[in-house]
Structure 1
Amino acid sequence: MSTLPIYETFYAWQGEGCHMGRAAFFIRTFGCPVKCPWCDSAGTWHPDWVPEKIERFSADELADRAVAHRAEFAVITGGEPTIHDLTELTAALHRRDLPTHLETSGSFPIKGDFDWITVSPKWAKLPLPENLRRANEIKLIIEDGESVEKWRAQVSPLTAGQVVWLHPEWSKREDPAVMNSISVTVKTQGHPFRAGYQLHRVYNVDSLDSGARPIIPLGGNLEIGY
């Protein structure tokens, strides 16, 4: 049986999107070639923050961890999880009757059987059109006052009418240009746009589980929220 490199696993609740507030078990894979400059999981790829040792686990080992909790579903995230073949892992989770969600940039082919797919496009490596159409929801990271319109031009022709969440990039969550652009878009455009936020960070819920690693402050600047 093959194994996957895993950065962390932990039990919390989903802090974003259509399943916000529901109990979830998170499986965060190691590795990411996209490398966003504001990444909040830089320990999965950044040379300054990668742990000395990354453990590998089989699909059954990970699925057993997930069902040991009272989670409503499992979330496979990263890093960028789709650089790995997730077929065995999704099959193992489904054998245990645990719905399986994916969080991805959409930049690579998706290998695995998922009940829910969240695609969050990144400029460093744009998503594959087929992944945007396959997504159940789309999450756009809004970095400045022009981000919404830039993403609308890039993504809208390739979607299939899914909910599109507009999330302030975390270090810009108090930037009026960012926040106002989200509010104005939702108020003037309506569906498919919704205002989003990382609610789990407000509650600091991930840290309540001993399996979660601390959020890595990319660049080491806690004052700007990385």
Structure 2
Amino acid sequence: MPQTPSRIVAPVVEVFASFQGEGSFVGEAQVFLRLAGCPLRCLWCDTPGSWAMRPDKAARIQRDGEPVQREDRVASPFQAALWIAAVEPGEPRTVSITGGEPLMWPDFIRALRPMLGNRRMHLETAGAHPESLARVLDVIDHVSLDLKLPSDMAEPVELERVVLTPREGEAADADRPEEAEEAEDPEEADVLAPTTETAPRTREDWAMARRRCLDLIQDHDACVKVVVSGGKPPREYDELFEDVARRAPNCPVFIAPATPIGGVRAPEFQDLVTVVENARDLGLDVRVLPQVHRMLGIA
């Protein structure tokens, strides 16, 4: 159920200015809005701290050259827009919404769009929630679709609604102080209500979600990212590339060698070459791009 306009909130992990390290806009100066909450469990995830919503935790607001400012994590779109403007070191930048899984919060994304002025708004998503993607696509300038192998995923964890205490809803009330005093009534309290769209569980679920998302972005400004890790047969990635070739053949495909983390290894060079050639054989525009921000040692 969509949130009512006066009660649209989402958990914000951090807002900071940096350089895009992945995809079509690599190297571009952007502002990153990281939302908490993700039902997926990618084995090579480099931001597991964003999985849980944790409304009791603080949001990190990083202004250029200043100490990290900590604010209440639960925020309205208006408050998020204020933070975005505050961290920009100069002219307005493209805003990249990342996570977590941002598509947990489609109402928040839609409500944020008119508050960003002429800034472009980009979305980084796993492509596991096509219904939510369809709800926000018309307000998104660019989609970076991160396609997953089912074998790279642990069992998903569904996120549940959380009724907030007055303290947790404080930042969300910043743009409507007259309502902040009414939080004693549970029916009037702010609620963290992620999308009710179910995350994929089986290989068939993943294939269906992936294909629906590719159908949605085929005529949109978008790119596809595929993380390639060590120890997997190169042919295992063919199912992803075949779906892109059939449904969104004009989307550039960025192959990202996995950053070693936990038990995940980077791919062998020859395996990476084979994966690339298999995708190119399908007529796809393929590029290899490691995580540049990790190489630079920046967020």
- TM-score of the superposed pair, with normalisation by structure 2: 0.61
2:33 to 27, 30, 34: 27
Partner amino acid for 1:82?
A: L
2:110 maps to 87
2:93 to 72, 75, 86: 72
Partner amino acid for 2:83?
A: R
2:225 to 132, 139, 151: 139
Contact preservation (8 Å) 2:14, 2:35 = yes
1:117 to 143, 164, 172: 143
CA-atom RMSD in angstroms: 2.5
1:192 maps to 285
How much has 1:61 moved relative to structure 2? 1.4
Structure 2: where are the runs of 5+ without partners?
1-5, 59-72, 154-199, 201-205
Contact preservation (8 Å) 2:276, 2:286 = no
Structure 1: where are the runs of 5+ without partners?
207-226
Per the alignment, in what secondary structure is the counterpart of residue 147 of structure 2?
coil
CA distance in 2, matches of 1:130, 1:186: 20
Contact preservation (8 Å) 2:147, 2:210 = no
The answer on 1:129 being equivalent to 2:133 is no
Equivalent pairs counted in the alignment come to 202
Relative distance call for 1:174 and 1:162 in structure 2 (3 A) is: closer
4+ runs deviating over 4 angstroms? 185-190
- Aligned identity (percent) is 25
- TM-score of the superposed pair, with normalisation by structure 1: 0.78
Contact preservation (8 Å) 1:117, 1:134 = no
CA distance in 2, matches of 1:53, 1:154: 39
Relative distance call for 1:176 and 1:183 in structure 2 (3 A) is: same
* Largest Rg, 1 or 2: 2
Is the deviation greater in 160-169 or in 122-131? 122-131
CA distance in 2, matches of 1:183, 1:155: 14
